[in-house]
Amino acid sequence: MRKWVTTSIFLYFLYGLVVYWYLFIFSGTGVPAPYEGTSADPATFMSGRELLLTQEYSTIRNFLYFVTIPFEWFLLFIFMISGLSRKMQDWSSASSNLFTIQSAIYFFWLSLFVSVISLPVNWIGFRISKMYHITTQSFSTWMKDQLIDFWVNYLLMTVIIIVLYSLIKRFEKRWWLYAWLLSIPFSMFLMFIQPVVIDPLYNDFYPLKDKLLEEKILEIAEKADIPAEHVYEVNMSEKTNALNAYVTGIGSNSRIVLWDTTLNRLNEDEILFIMAHEMGHYVMKHIYVGIAGYLLLSLAGLYIIHVLMRMIIARYGGMLKIRSMRELAAFPLFLLLLGTLTFASSPLSNTVARYQEKSADMYAIEMTNNHEAAISSFQELSRAGLSEVNPPALVKIFRYTHPTMLERILYLEEHGNRN
C-alpha cells in the first residue's frame, strides 16, 4: 500500500508541475498579431489593470481546475487501498439487513470523506474568486451552498447506487445495458424538475421585473415561434459579479433565465442579443441534441467501465480490498473510472457544445441584426468575469463549452462585413 500511495503522490506532484509549466511559463497571452487593435483585442476594451487581473485570475483558475480534477480520483483510490471502503461496507452491512439502508449508510460515509478532504481545496477556489471580486458571497452563504450540494448529490447518488447494485447483483454481465436504459427516463426526469425543484434551492427565480424589456424579448420569441410567457431573472448579484443567461429544463418546465448581473451591466440591445442567442438553442433543439449525445456517450462509458472494473478487480482486487464488482466496496472504483472517462471525453463533448454555441450566436445576429451590440456584449462578458479572450489550447479543449471570445467576436465581425 505504501508503495502505491507514494507512487500516486509522486505522479500527482509531477502532473502538477507539468500543468504549472504549461499555464504559467509555456503558454503565451494576448491575441495573435493580425488581430491586435481590433474589437477582439482585450487591450481595446480593458484597462491595463483589467488586463493584468484577467491574466492572473484566468491562469490561477485554470491551474486549480486541472490539479483538482485528479485530486478526487486520488481520494477515491486512497479510500479503497487503505481499506476504508471495505470497512465502511462491513459496518453498513452490520447496521441493517436491508440493502437500501446499507447503501445509504455506505455512501454517506464515502461522500463525507471526499467532501471533508476536498473542502480546503474548494475554499481556496472561493477565496481566489473573492480576491479578484468575481465572487460576492460571504463565507456563510458559500458554506450553505456547499451543504446543499452535499445533500442534493447524496440523495440522487444514493438512488443511483441502489438501482445500480440491484442490477449488478441480478445481471452481472449485462448490468451496464439495463443501467443505461433506466438512465434515459431518469435523465429526462431530472431535466424536467431541475428548474422548479433543484435550482430554487440555490437562488430566487422570478419573472423579469422590467416588463417593457420582457415584452421586447417575447416579441423576438414570437417571431421564432417559441411559446414563451415569461422570461425569468435570478438574483445572482448576491453571489457573483459575472454575467450569464441560459436555457434550462424541458417540456413545460423549459425556462429562459437571465442573471440580474447581466441586466445591471448590459444595455437593452446587448440583452436582446443575449436572449436571442438563448432562443436559438431552443429553436435548434440543442437541449435535446445534448441529451441524445450524453446518452450515446454514457452507453459507451458504462460498457467500458464494466470491462475495466472486471479487469482491475481480477488483477488488483486484493490490493484494493475488493473481491467483486457486486460489492459496495467497489463503488469508489466505479466513480474513479467514471470521472476519468468523463474527463477524457470532454474534448469531444466540448467541441459539439462549441458548435452549438456558434450556431446560436449566428441565429441571434440574424434575429437582431445588431453587430455592435453583439460584440460589445461579448466584450462586457469578458470584463465582468475576467475571462481570457484567447486561452491556451489545452484550456480551450478541456474547459470551453463556448467558442473563445476571440473566435466569437471575429466571426461576428466577418458576418457584419459580408452584410
Q: What is the C-alpha end-to-end distance of the chain, expressed in Å? A: 66
Catalytic residues: 278
Per-residue confidence (pLDDT) for residue 223, from 0 to 100: 76
Exposure string for 87-120, b = 16+ CB within 10 A, e = fewer: ebbeebbeeeeebeebbbbbbebbbebbbeeeee
The neighbouring-strand residues paired with 246 are 257
Instruction: Tell me the pLDDT tens digit for each residue of 272-310.
Output: 999 889 888 888 888 888 888 888 999 999 999 999 999
Element (H, E) at 25: none
Cβ neighbours of residue 372 closer than 8 Å, sequence gap 6 or more: 269
Per-residue confidence (pLDDT) for residue 193, from 0 to 100: 87
Helix/strand/coil for 232: strand
User: Beta strand 245-248 with 255-259: parallel, antiparallel or unpaired?
Assistant: antiparallel
**Helical H runs in 24-83?**
48-81
Q: Is 251 left (phi over 0), alpha (psi -120 to 50) or beta?
A: left
Per-residue confidence (pLDDT) for residue 227, from 0 to 100: 67
State the greatest distance between any 2 C-alpha atoms of the chain, in Å, as a whole number: 72
Helix/strand/coil for 251: helix
The three three-digit cell numbers of residue 93, written as one number: 452491512
State the residue for C-alpha cell 463503488: 331
State the residue for C-alpha cell 509522486: 10
Per-residue confidence (pLDDT) for residue 31, from 0 to 100: 86
State the residue for C-alpha cell 438501482: 163
Helix/strand/coil for 404: coil
- Residues 54 and 390: their CA atoms lie apart, in Å, by 11
Per-residue confidence (pLDDT) for residue 46, from 0 to 100: 92
**Is the Cβ–Cβ distance between 246 and 255 less than 8 Å?**
no
Length of the chain: 419
150: buried, middle or exposed (CB in 10 Å: 19+, 13-18, 0-12)?
middle
0.85 exceeded by the pTM?
yes
Per-residue confidence (pLDDT) for residue 419, from 0 to 100: 64
Per-residue confidence (pLDDT) for residue 228, from 0 to 100: 65
Strands of the 232-234 sheet, one edge to the other: 205-207, 232-234, 255-259, 245-248
Low-confidence ranges of the chain (pLDDT < 70): 29, 227-228, 251, 419
- Residues 23 and 388: their CA atoms lie apart, in Å, by 13
Per-residue confidence (pLDDT) for residue 30, from 0 to 100: 78
